Chains A and B, each alone.
Chain A
């Protein structure tokens, strides 16, 4: 039998339910794994050892007492540090929230607890989810489990790395412009951004409210589906959460790819594209055809405008959302300020990192008097054009397949001082947030340097099921999981 910390979500829950292993034993196996590899990976900001063991103990007592077990009973998970966890430090990767302890759980976190999940800890991230490498964290430098000299992607780099390194069975991240899918691709694990409104944003510390969405990482597509099943659904505490019923995602998995119409947008395979990424994605498309999907080229003509549109919309919303950090109610307060105005400025100057300040500045500029129409309103109109591109495409196809990222994982420091080049690593993912669509990234191959390559599958609004069908079929065909990251070493 494989070791306790390698089982899928369903296997782990079944093991707990049958008494094959206790939730506490499984929790200890994961905590041992975190102790063994996290000094090298640095995926976790905070490990909640005592709380995790207590939660696992409650699951074991429920089982012994014959009480019904939740769908994630005894499954150890990691949570991105941008999601509020009652009683546990939530920093958003920022100095300005150092020591902040929320008095409530995010709805998605509360639902995980209610489902019997064991929360192992909080994972590292780019400050306020702004970044694509996790290098913008004010704290640790998270390393890619496939190559310690390379970034894990971001902003949910800690969650992606934790799952890739077997430090958690699954994890939650958030995705505003690719922050789940891009690190999932770079770390070689599946990760999904659900449809905007599918998962409650209550308790998610806001970056760009019209784009932010919570979603899962797992070691398998099925694991992603099982975690999404628990966190999805209407929440009266989030006025933008959809009141639609949540389908049975696991039931969609075995339906296969046969008969699906798959569109391949030519704009996502530009000239001069990385040959290894191009080759791996095209090989996966041939696999989809073998599985009975009908693959054809489509066009999303406004793709080239997505990055400029995104950086106007996202920074405008961020500059407004981040106005709340003022040193008064929570978080950092700069000492020795003589009046309130200087308290604000000194606190924000000391508490925010360079990228966050850069985005607040850009967002403030595009919203400022005289520039609103030229930038923010213009970007919102182009957003409509981008959304319509997808609506039109989905009249002809059931799913769209693209590379998740232009390249595999890059090296530390390679892009951190060049904001535009960093922004371009989200070129294939931001369109999906602008259109509010669901999308998954699954690993589809390795480069010759043994770095994972990600493939993105996009679906219609609230049609995560079709994505799961195609993703599960491709996963079984491509057998990526036979590969193990460098950090595994021991196996």
Chain B
């Protein structure tokens, strides 16, 4: 097994996710199956190969640094689950 349940719990914390105990068991099993499968990449020697990080052109295009249109504050808040006084309201951040 590549990863155990405690490591899966750690990954879940990094990803801001949480599961039931039963789900942790299932994910541990499934992630191990997938990791075992992707381990076949180790058969290839890639020490002299460059990484492809993008399928597009290699150089980023440049443009004038000119301001364009934008949306209003009201519009930006229209989808907020809890807007308040022109802000996105959230629960307590510091305990």
Which of A's residues lie within 8 Å of B, judged by CB? 99-101, 103-104, 196-197, 210-211, 236, 239-240, 242-243, 302, 304-305, 307-309, 311-312, 319, 323, 326-333, 337-346, 348-349, 352, 357-358, 360-362, 364-365, 368, 375, 377-385, 387, 419-420, 433-436
Give the distance in Å from the alpha carbon of A103 to the alpha carbon of B70 in the complex. Answer: 11
Quick one: which of B8, B34, B49 has the most chain A CB within 10 A?
B34
Say if the beta carbon of B40 comes within 8 Å of chain A. yes
Q: How far is the CA of A239 from the CA of B57 in the complex (A)?
A: 10
Nearest-CB residue, chain A, relative to B90: A340
- Report which of A243, A307, A308, A435 forms a contact with B55, defined as CB distance below 8 A: A435
- Dominant SS among interface residues on chain B: loop
The residue from A104, A307, A338, A375 contacting B92, defined by CB atoms under 8 A apart: A338
Known: A311-B38, A361-B12, A436-B55. A420 touches B33 (CB 8 A): yes
Interface residues of B in 21-60 (CB under 8 A from A): 27, 30-31, 33-35, 37-42, 44, 46, 49-57, 60
Residues of B within 8 A of A101 (CB): 78-79
Query: Measuring CB to CB, which residues of chain B are less than 8 angstroms from any residue of chain A?
Result: 3, 8, 11-12, 14-19, 27, 30-31, 33-35, 37-42, 44, 46, 49-57, 60-61, 63, 71, 75-76, 78-82, 88, 90-93, 95
Q: Which A residue's beta carbon lies closest to that of B36?
A: A420
Query: For chain A, what secondary structure do more than half of its interface residues adopt (helix, strand, loop), or is it mixed?
Result: helix
Closest to B75 in A: A103
Task: Tell me the minimal C-beta distance from B52 to chain A in angstroms.
Answer: 4
| Residues of A with C-beta under 8 A to B81 | 327-328, 330-333
How far, in Å, is A178 (CB) from chain B's closest CB?
Answer: 15
The distance in angstroms between the C-alpha atoms of A181 and B8, with both chains bound, is 34
CB distance from A460 to the nearest CB of B (A): 13
How many A-B contacts are there with CB distance less than 8 Å? 160
Q: Are A360 and B15 in contact (CB under 8 A)?
A: yes
| A99: B residues at CB distance < 8 A | 79
**Of all chain A residues, which has the CB nearest B93?**
A340
- In Å, the complex CA distance between A384 and B81 comes to 43
In the bound complex, CA of A435 to CA of B55 (Å) = 6
Please give the distance in Å from A430's CB to the nearest CB on chain B.
12
B80 cross-chain contacts in A, Cβ below 8 A = 328-330
CA distance A433 to B55 in the complex (A): 8
**Residue from B39, B51, B52, B81 having most chain A Cβ neighbours under 10 A:** B52
B79 touches A319 (CB 8 A): no
Residues of chain B lying within 8 A (CB to CB) of residue A211: 55
Instruction: Note all chain A residues with C-beta closer than 8 A to B76.
Output: 103
Residues of A within 8 A of B57 (CB): 197, 240, 242
Question: Which of chain A's residues have a CB closer than 8 A to the CB of B41?
Answer: 305, 308-309, 312, 378-379, 382
Determine which of A339, A344, A380 lies in contact with B95 in the assembled complex, contact meaning CB atoms within 8 Å: A339
Say whether B90 contacts A362, CB under 8 Å: no
Instruction: Give Cα distance in the complex from A338 to B92, angstroms.
Output: 7
CB-CB nearest in chain A for B3: A365
- In this complex, what residue of A is CB-closest to B39? A308
Q: Which residues of B contact A196 (CB under 8 A)?
A: 55-56
- Write out the residue numbers on chain A whose beta carbons fall within 8 Å of the beta carbon of B3: 365
Q: Are A384 and B49 interface neighbours, CB within 8 A?
A: yes
- B57, B76, B88 — most chain A CB neighbours (10 Å): B57
A361-B49 contact, Cβ under 8 Å, with A340-B93, A382-B41, A420-B34: no
Sample of 12 A–B contacts (CB below 8 Å):
A101-B79, A103-B79, A236-B63, A305-B40, A328-B88, A340-B91, A364-B11, A365-B3, A365-B35, A368-B11, A379-B41, A435-B55
Q: Which residues of B contact A420 (CB under 8 A)?
A: 33-34, 37
B79 touches A375 (CB 8 A): no
Nearest residue, chain A, Cβ from B15: A364
Task: Name the CB-closest residue of A to B42.
Answer: A378
The interface residues of chain A lying within 8 Å CB-to-CB of B60 are 239
Q: Are B55 and A210 in contact (CB under 8 A)?
A: yes
Other-chain contact of B18, A239, A331, A349 (Cβ < 8 Å)? A349
Asked if A103 contacts B78 (CB within 8 A), the reply is yes
- Give chain A nearest CB distance to B14 CB in angstroms: 5
Complex partner residue of B71 from A104, A328, A339, A348, CB under 8 angstroms: A104
Q: Does A384 contact B92, Cβ atoms closer than 8 Å?
A: no
What are the residues of chain B within 8 A of A436 when measuring CB–CB?
55-56
Judge whether B27 and A381 touch: CB under 8 Å: no
* Known contacts A308-B41, A330-B80; is-contact A365 B31 (Cβ 8 Å): yes
